[in-house]
Amino acid sequence: MVGFLSVIKELNARFTELMRLNYVSTLLGWDQQVNMPKSEGATMGRSEQIALIEAISHRKLISKKTGELIKKAENQPNLNLIDSAILREAKRKYDKAIKIPIELVTEIAKTASLGHQAWEKSREKSDFSIFQPYLEKMVNLQRKYAERLDIGPTLYDSLTDIYEPEAKSEWISNIFKEIKPKLVKILNKLESSDLNKPNQEILKRKYDPEKQWKLSMEIIKKLDFDFKKGRQDKSVHPFTASVSSMDTRITTRIWEKYLPACLFGSIHECGHALYEMGFMEEIHDTFLADGSSLGIHESQSRLWENIVGRSKEFWNYWYPTLQKYFPENLKNYPEHEFYRSINAVKPSFIRVEADEVTYGLHIILRFEIEKELINNNLRVSELPELWNTKMEELLNIIPPNDAQGVLQDVHWSGGAFGYFPTYTLGNLYASQIYVNALKKNPDLPDDFKNGNFNNLLNYLRENIHQYGRIYRPLDLIKRVTGEELNSNYFIKYLETKFYPIYGI
Amino acid sequence: MVGFLSVIKELNARFTELMRLNYVSTLLGWDQQVNMPKSEGATMGRSEQIALIEAISHRKLISKKTGELIKKAENQPNLNLIDSAILREAKRKYDKAIKIPIELVTEIAKTASLGHQAWEKSREKSDFSIFQPYLEKMVNLQRKYAERLDIGPTLYDSLTDIYEPEAKSEWISNIFKEIKPKLVKILNKLESSDLNKPNQEILKRKYDPEKQWKLSMEIIKKLDFDFKKGRQDKSVHPFTASVSSMDTRITTRIWEKYLPACLFGSIHECGHALYEMGFMEEIHDTFLADGSSLGIHESQSRLWENIVGRSKEFWNYWYPTLQKYFPENLKNYPEHEFYRSINAVKPSFIRVEADEVTYGLHIILRFEIEKELINNNLRVSELPELWNTKMEELLNIIPPNDAQGVLQDVHWSGGAFGYFPTYTLGNLYASQIYVNALKKNPDLPDDFKNGNFNNLLNYLRENIHQYGRIYRPLDLIKRVTGEELNSNYFIKYLETKFYPIYGI
């Protein structure tokens, strides 16, 4: 028994060090996006630092010692829930890592850091050619990476598996094929409505940035974002970053003439942060202190942003406050019209501003493109044109420039291919989870009306948050809701919510 | 020749990695003081991270490979200036490090991180007992550390050598014994003046914090702080931190009712930053990308803060701007009286607010205490009383509480014993350097009157900044000024400046 205890203890200690290096690397990245001067020199210095930490981490992960510990641990009988999950994740990381040469890891980290900077410039000038060489390099590196991982059946499957364990690209394809015509059907139905359609005009007036910031701080505080365990800042692209198990940071962006950017950006990232802040102490500083998958993580942000944050009841509570912040725009603007305008459905260029109906179509576009890109059926140079073609096909609009098209997302600059589908999986998980939450707490909508968001948070903490990565996503969803992922919940949610808004 | 090149190249590559780890660790510390939530959990997490990076760095430094490379490099003939300085610093670091067990390094790092938090609380509540156990632990660790380094003749010498290479505590003692009576003599002379004495009343009115911040940004910009290579933030205790060779960050603190805190804090840290921003590219990311010593580093901050920032000519240029920022206080306040009030000499409790005459006495007090503490002639529990006794002895005043006494400085919480003397060495170096700068650029005071600070900066860049740590402090001062460190320059500077202010 002593041997048993010491193997597990040693394995955990080793992976705790790796998790801490991961936090350090996350801080280096957070700082780069939030604080660091935007100069070539500073970027170069930081990318070398990140590459170094990643290399140290990688070397430790693939060491002979790690392999031996995993092997020994696998022979231990009767591991408890947490230890066996740690072992599973340790093995998963190790198996992936030993396939990847350290030079490739280092090169990807460097290319990501430089690529991010190039992407920012490229987007700013709406000039794809600035970003293209970096993206080409990154795609090649990702293909090499996928080849080495060799999960199959396609190269792309190796990458989706990183973000959504067990999710095969065919499984994703099938789900997307299922919802694609339904989304198009709902969209068409809404567009053909005779009613005075909601639009975003009111949201595009001038909203003082300082006040937007204060409002977002007030809202996330009310949603129980714990400022003793995190902070909010501003960055070009909003994101959530845990820099330790007790320090989760979110960022938002403020656009003076587009209220939803900051408002829903903050609520979205707050949803991610609440997940990370809710992990049980036993898994702190382990690889289980993470979302079950990116899809599940996204289900938490979407649930708060869309299902809660864009609900009638949420605004029953918050609208008077909002009016006090921005009387010049909203004093005489009816609450119901505001609710309709934040739920206006309209094909648009920018994914992060997309409504809940068209959002999935944006994701399907990216999924279809990146799958072909990684599977070697497409060249980077073809992206801008293909992007626009697909936009026309799916949403019947063409971006006026690449900044509003192919250059809008940060993901590819960092090498995150296979990441996009998790956004829509997140929406599907979220609807299914929320139906379950409602079943157990039928008063949730009334709670929201009264500014009480605690009952929902408690449900999520109890059923999802505390477990972190202990359960795999498909196990978790079944465990929580009693059934497999079922996209009908999402479609039903959209129909029930949007048809009345459009008088259907 | 191939062997020669590859040894040096390999040695440099190794030390470049160590320097990058050092930058990473610096960022972890910077973030802790500037951004991190002040919670126990976050602090614990961060201290584990810092300890881990330090341990990784230490392990790399003391590895057999490093020792072999140093040995081989030492046998290479005709190293160039930079390579031989890198070798010297590599050897210095290595020799120190192999004497220290890694557990001690880790424990010091952890204790420093926790101790810092405890010190903040302790100071806030003016309750020494909160900090005492952490300080006791730290003193014991530092003694162990000094024993291992075994530089001698006393334990304390092992620690001063870290900050001021080659500076023996007896040498420092002698210099301090030399200036102590002279400082007291100047102080007495000023205090006995019949003239209407300058005082700080005007500086203690209300100054809008937001405006103080903007002013400090305007001033450091004019002094050529490069915001593409750094930034300014706020923290409890101002400091300068390079988080890469192209990213040097300073902090300041703003006290609504004490204008000098932010104003001179910023100029001081800006002086440090200008040094770091001026290193020649060839030494970037090497251990030469650092000040020659802490004393020389401090000479740069003091030169800008005191010799420039508290000069008549500086305020000839800046006073109209200052009046525009704070008309409610300064519109009708004469420039000459402002100049006198920022140079008021008066024994006071807080070192960082002390005038140029009494400052040295604050340092002598700390030097005398920490020397005895490390050399085992004094207990931590005796500190508060001894502090007050010495304050009375040297400055004829007794602090009303420990927050304004023994708890005021951050240094000991982080284990920085042997650091304090470098502040006064900095003042001595600064005066001697400035006399040389004036000899070569007699128009400097006129430049300042016209808001031109470039000629001084260029002199410093050319003679000091670019070289970083290539030259040892005493070599550097001799190289630049043609003579050894001579404390008469400092005494002369004080007399020439302060006697006229006091009508003597």
Nearest C-alpha neighbor of A489 from the set A182, A100, A255, A157:
A182
A229/B45 touch (CB, cutoff 8 Å), yes or no: no
Q: In this structure, which CATH number among 1.10.1370.30, 3.40.30.10, 2.60.40.1120, 3.50.50.60 belongs to the domain A169-501?
A: 1.10.1370.30
Interface of B with A (CB under 8 A): 17, 20-21, 23-24, 27-28, 31, 35-39, 41-42, 44-46, 48-49, 52-53, 56, 227-231, 243-247, 285
pLDDT level of residue B502 (50, 70, 90 thresholds): very high
- Tokens linked to B497: 């400046």
Low-confidence ranges of chain A (pLDDT < 70): 1-5
A54, A269, A276, A368: which one is catalytic?
A: A269
Region of residue B418 (left: phi > 0; alpha: psi -120 to 50; beta: else): left
Q: What angle do CA A87, A90, A93 make, to 5 degrees?
A: 150
Selected for mutation to probe chain A from B14, B48, B283 (highest A CB count within 10 Å) is B48
Nearest C-alpha neighbor of A263 from the set A334, A315, A226:
A315
Q: Which residue type does A192 have?
A: S
- pLDDT for position A110: 86
Name the strands in the sheet holding A247-252, side by side, starting at the edge strand that comes first in the sequence.
A230-234, A247-252, A240-244
Phi and psi at residue B77, to the nearest 5° = -85, 160
Cα dihedral B366, B371, B373, B378, rounded to 10, equals -90
- Tokens linked to A140: 């090649």
Identify how many contiguous H helices and E strands chain A contains and give both numbers: 21, 3
Question: In chain A, which residues have their Cβ closer than 8 Å to the Cβ of B246?
Answer: 37, 39, 41-42, 44-45
Nearest C-alpha neighbor of B13 from the set B292, B281, B287:
B287
Phi and psi at residue A370, to the nearest 5° = -70, -30
CA distance A416 to A431: 25
Q: What angle do CA B17, B20, B22 make, to 5 degrees?
A: 115
- pLDDT for position A1: 41
Residue that has been written with the tokens 């890198």 in this structure: B86
Nearest C-alpha neighbor of A45 from the set B300, B228, B220, B56:
B228
- pLDDT for position A6: 86
Question: In chain A, which residues have their Cβ closer than 8 Å to the Cβ of B31?
Answer: 27, 31, 243
In angstroms, the separation between the Cα of residue A230 and the nearest Cα of chain B is 6
- pLDDT for position B4: 55
Kind of pairing between the strands at B240-244 and B247-252: antiparallel
Question: In chain B, which residues have their Cβ closer than 8 Å to the Cβ of A246?
Answer: 37, 39, 41-42, 44-45
DSSP conformation class of B253:
-
Q: What is the DSSP string of B372-414?
A: HHHTTSS-GGGHHHHHHHHHHHHHS---SSGGGTTTS-SGGGG
In angstroms, the separation between the Cα of residue A420 and the nearest Cα of chain B is 31
Query: Which helix or strand (DSSP H or E) is residue A241 part of?
Result: strand A240-244
Kind of pairing between the strands at A247-252 and B247-252: unpaired
- Of A45, A230, A243, nearest to B244 by CB-CB distance is A45
Residues in chain A: 504
Higher-confidence residue: A174 or B166? A174
Helix (H), strand (E), coil (C) string for B172-241: HHHHHHHHHHHHHHHHHHHHCCCCCCCCCHHHHCCCCHHHHHHHHHHHHHHCCCCCCCEEEEECCCCCEE
Express the helix, strand and coil content of chain B in percent, nearest 5 each. 70, 5, 30
Q: Is B314 helix (H, G, I), strand (E, B) or coil?
A: helix
- pLDDT for position A308: 98
CA distance B484 to A234: 51
- Tokens linked to A204: 């595009």
Question: In chain A, which residues have their Cβ closer than 8 Å to the Cβ of B39?
Answer: 228-229, 246
- Tokens linked to B367: 């030097």
Give CA separation, B188 vs A13, B199, B346, B358, B499, in Å: 62, 16, 10, 11, 11
- Tokens linked to A256: 């003076």
Nearest C-alpha neighbor of B161 from the set B115, B103, B101, B93:
B93
Question: In chain A, which residues have their Cβ closer than 8 Å to the Cβ of B228?
Answer: 37-39, 41-42
Please say if the pLDDT value at position B464 is more than 70: yes
B23/A45 touch (CB, cutoff 8 Å), yes or no: yes
- Of A49, A231, A244, nearest to B49 by CB-CB distance is A244
Q: Is A24 helix (H, G, I), strand (E, B) or coil?
A: helix
- Render pLDDT for B52-67 as a digit per residue (tens, 0 to 9): 998 899 899 999 999 9
First to last CA, chain B: 66
Give CA separation, B39 vs A193, B45, B119, B233, in Å: 53, 10, 14, 20
Contact of A253 with A261, CB cutoff 8 Å: yes
Nearest C-alpha neighbor of A295 from the set A167, A462, A135:
A167
CA distance B149 to B136: 20
- How does A310-319 read in b/e, with b if 16+ C-beta sit within 10 Å? bbbbbbbbbb
- pLDDT for position B106: 81
- Of A45, A46, A231, nearest to B37 by CB-CB distance is A231
Question: In chain A, which residues have their Cβ closer than 8 Å to the Cβ of B244?
Answer: 41-42, 45-46, 48-49
- Render pLDDT for B407-445 as a digit per residue (tens, 0 to 9): 999 999 999 999 999 999 999 999 999 999 999 999 999
CA distance A56 to B49: 14
Please say if the pLDDT value at position B135 is more than 80: yes
- Of A46, A244, A247, nearest to B244 by CB-CB distance is A46
CA distance A347 to A393: 12
Selected for mutation to probe chain A from B16, B32, B36 (highest A CB count within 10 Å) is B36
- Average pLDDT of chain B is 95
In angstroms, the separation between the Cα of residue A233 and the nearest Cα of chain B is 10
Cα dihedral B52, B54, B56, B59, rounded to 10, equals -130
Please say if the pLDDT value at position B3 is more than 70: no
**Residue B439: how many CB atoms within 10 A of its CB?**
10
CA distance A45 to B284: 10
Q: Is B283 helix (H, G, I), strand (E, B) or coil?
A: helix
A42/B229 touch (CB, cutoff 8 Å), yes or no: yes
- pLDDT for position B2: 44
Selected for mutation to probe chain A from B20, B44, B57 (highest A CB count within 10 Å) is B20
- Tokens linked to A190: 């809404």
Contact of A441 with A453, CB cutoff 8 Å: no
- Tokens linked to A169: 């690209």
A31/B31 touch (CB, cutoff 8 Å), yes or no: yes
DSSP conformation class of A230:
E
Contact of A29 with A241, CB cutoff 8 Å: yes
Contact of A63 with A24, CB cutoff 8 Å: no
Q: Which residues touch A53 (CB under 8 Å, ≥6 apart)? A: A21, A24, A25, A28, B24
Q: Is B248 helix (H, G, I), strand (E, B) or coil?
A: strand
- Sorted by where each begins, the domain ranges of chain A are 2-149, 169-501
Residue B230's closest chain A neighbor by CA?
A: A37
Question: In chain A, which residues have their Cβ closer than 8 Å to the Cβ of B230?
Answer: 37
Q: Is A306 helix (H, G, I), strand (E, B) or coil?
A: helix
Sign of the Cα pseudo-torsion (B215, B218, B224, B226, in order): positive
- Tokens linked to B179: 């200036």
Cα dihedral B5, B6, B9, B15, rounded to 10, equals -130
CA distance A157 to A479: 25
Q: Which residues of B are catalytic?
A: 269
Express the helix, strand and coil content of chain A in percent, nearest 5 each. 70, 5, 30
CA distance A253 to A213: 9
- pLDDT for position B399: 97
- Render pLDDT for B9-47 as a digit per residue (tens, 0 to 9): 999 999 999 999 999 999 999 999 999 999 999 999 998
B52/A21 touch (CB, cutoff 8 Å), yes or no: yes
In angstroms, the separation between the Cα of residue A23 and the nearest Cα of chain B is 8
Question: In chain B, which residues have their Cβ closer than 8 Å to the Cβ of A231?
Answer: 35, 37
Contact of A341 with A202, CB cutoff 8 Å: yes
- A269 catalytic per annotation: yes
A39/B229 touch (CB, cutoff 8 Å), yes or no: yes
- Render pLDDT for B73-109 as a digit per residue (tens, 0 to 9): 999 888 999 999 999 999 999 999 999 988 898 899 8
Selected for mutation to probe chain B from A16, A30, A31, A281 (highest B CB count within 10 Å) is A31
CA distance B500 to B131: 43
The ipTM estimated for the assembled molecules is: 0.89
